[in-house]
Amino acid sequence: MKRLFIILVAALAIVAFSKSFSIYQSEFISYRDSYNAKGMKSLIEELENLPNKDYRMYTLLADSLVEYALWGASKNADKKSLYEKARKYAEKAIKLNPKYAYAYFVRGAAIGRLAQYVGLLKSLFMVDDFDYSMKKAIELNPKCFRAMVAMGMRYRDLPWPFRNYRKAEKYFKMAIKVEPRYINSYLELGLLYEAWKKKDKAIEMFKKVLELPPMKGFTALGKEAKKEATTHLRSLRGRTYHHPSAFFRV
């Protein structure tokens, strides 16, 4: 009886001190919002050490790896390794729950960023996987605006014949309609119009980026968008436009 009591107390203690998914998610959003690399790295370690992770935890871990690789890791070799791990964890989440839109988005984001490290020719073989993941995310969650932005960038930035400016415009406008507070949608649409030689529309979008405040949860990203919008507004006043060299940026 005494042994049973000890086991029950231990079990209750574990439950009491364990964090819920919502708490982990809140921490993730906070660290992403401010580009807190130390906090994000700590979160990754904690999530990796969790026993019996469900599909939500695997997806959050994958997204944490993608974010940390993007702005926290300094070496390209480290970034590539983190993106590979993120893809693996996102695919585990999809296997556990094939209808979880968030997991497909993170898988696509990891694939898109991995493509930057394999060379242009090899990266083109990854387009189908990227398209499938992002389109599946949108299908399962029609409000997945970041997947829409990613698809817009895909159609804008890839070389011909994979490029399609009209489709890119459609996806960017879809994202803005779903979530008008996300200023990076306006930035990416402005970059599209600049590449498309639609100067007036590009200026309109870049000014929109400067007018709107960064969306909560994306403050640091929004500040970067404002700096880039300022740079491109200046370039439209006489400098030469350079097409984005990155394969995907989501």
Of the candidate ranges 24-28, 36-40, 202-206, 239-243, the one whose mean pLDDT is the lowest: 239-243
* Domain total of the chain: 2
pLDDT single digits (tens) 58-87: 999 999 999 999 999 988 889 999 999 999
Q: Give the domain-ending residue among 121, 141, 161.
A: 141
Which amino acid, residue 47? L
The pLDDT confidence band at residue 153, using thresholds 50, 70 and 90, is: very high
| Residue range of the domain that includes 33 | 21-141
CATH number for 27: 1.25.40.10
**168 plus 226 within the same structural domain:** yes
**66 plus 133 within the same structural domain:** yes
The pLDDT confidence band at residue 182, using thresholds 50, 70 and 90, is: very high
Asked, for residue 238, whether it belongs to a domain, the answer is yes
**43 plus 60 within the same structural domain:** yes
Residue in 94, 95, 133, 93 with CA at minimum distance from that of residue 114: 133
Mean pLDDT of 142-154: 98
| The pLDDT of residue 70 | 96
pLDDT at 15 over 50: no
215, 182 contact by CB (below 8 A): yes
Task: For residue 67, give the 3-state DSSP assignment.
Answer: helix
Task: For residue 213, give the 3-state DSSP assignment.
Answer: coil
**127 plus 157 within the same structural domain:** no
- Mean pLDDT, all residues of the chain: 90
**179 plus 67 within the same structural domain:** no
Asked, for residue 4, whether it belongs to a domain, the answer is no
Own/partner pairs for 134-143, CB < 8 Å, 24+ apart? 134/104, 134/105, 134/108, 136/101, 136/104, 137/101, 137/102, 137/104, 137/105, 137/108, 138/101, 139/101, 140/99, 140/100, 140/101, 140/104, 141/101, 141/102, 142/178, 143/178, 143/179
**136 plus 26 within the same structural domain:** yes
Asked, for residue 213, whether it belongs to a domain, the answer is yes
- 3-state SS, 110-159, equals HHHHHHHHCCHHHHHCCHHHHHHHHHHHHHHCCCCHHHHHHHHHHHHHCC
Q: Evaluate the CA torsion angle 199, 200, 201, 205 in order and state its sign.
A: positive
Mean pLDDT of 94-118: 95
Mean pLDDT of 183-203: 97
180 versus 246: the higher-pLDDT residue is: 180
Q: Give the domain-ending residue among 100, 125, 141.
A: 141
Q: Give the domain-ending residue among 88, 112, 141.
A: 141
Asked, for residue 59, whether it belongs to a domain, the answer is yes
| The pLDDT of residue 117 | 86
